[in-house]
Amino acid sequence: MSKKNRHFHILRMIEQEGVESQQDLLDALEAEEVSISQSTLSKDLKELGVIKVRGKEGRFRFVQTKERDTYHAGVLLKRELVDFLRETIPVGNLVLLKTVPGNASGLSKSVDEIGWPEVAGTLASVDTVMVVTHNDKEAQTVVQRLQDIILSK
């Protein structure tokens, strides 16, 4: 099963069933024929921004935090850059991102979702993303940020 599908099942169970422990979550996933190890579940919970909190009745439950959105946007952007980016071309206040054909829209969406203040917006074709910034300096900042993400571990 793909990571995306696992994440879907994990989040659905946390929201609908009020799971109290990782073991309960593992058992519930297994009942739905989603095979996952405890270590993979721990990594998935971290990536999804899921934490354990004590409810009003004193029992623990898992909840998804807002930090997940920022973390998730960064993870998706890195994945898009590493997997599909072929070339970065700064042109004035624009940054052109050449991608593997068919993947520009995914990269464009990821750049939009990361929420950088330098990015006014993006426009995508089949294999090119045009990142619009406010000025030449901000375009260089975007290029540097993209390079930093690609090189990060």
Q: Give pTM, 2 decimals.
A: 0.57
Same domain, 136 and 80: yes
Residue matched to tokens 């571990």: 153
- The CATH number given to whatever domain includes residue 79 is 3.30.1360.40
Same domain, 82 and 94: yes
Q: Which of 30-34, 72-76, 98-102, 143-147 has the lowest mean pLDDT?
A: 72-76
- The β-bridge partners of 64 are 50
Same domain, 80 and 27: no
At 58, is the secondary structure helix, strand, or coil? coil
Q: Domain range spanning residue 38?
A: 3-65
Write out the two tokens for 48.
């999804």
Count the helices and strands in the chain (H runs, E runs): 6, 6
At 17, is the secondary structure helix, strand, or coil? helix
Residue matched to tokens 């203040």: 117
* pLDDT (tens digit per residue) in 49-80: 888 877 667 788 887 776 555 556 777 888 89
Instruction: Tell me how crowded residue 56 is: count the other CB atoms within 10 A of its CB.
Output: 5
Same domain, 31 and 81: no
- The β-bridge partners of 119 are 133
Among 65, 87, 103, the domain boundary falls at 65
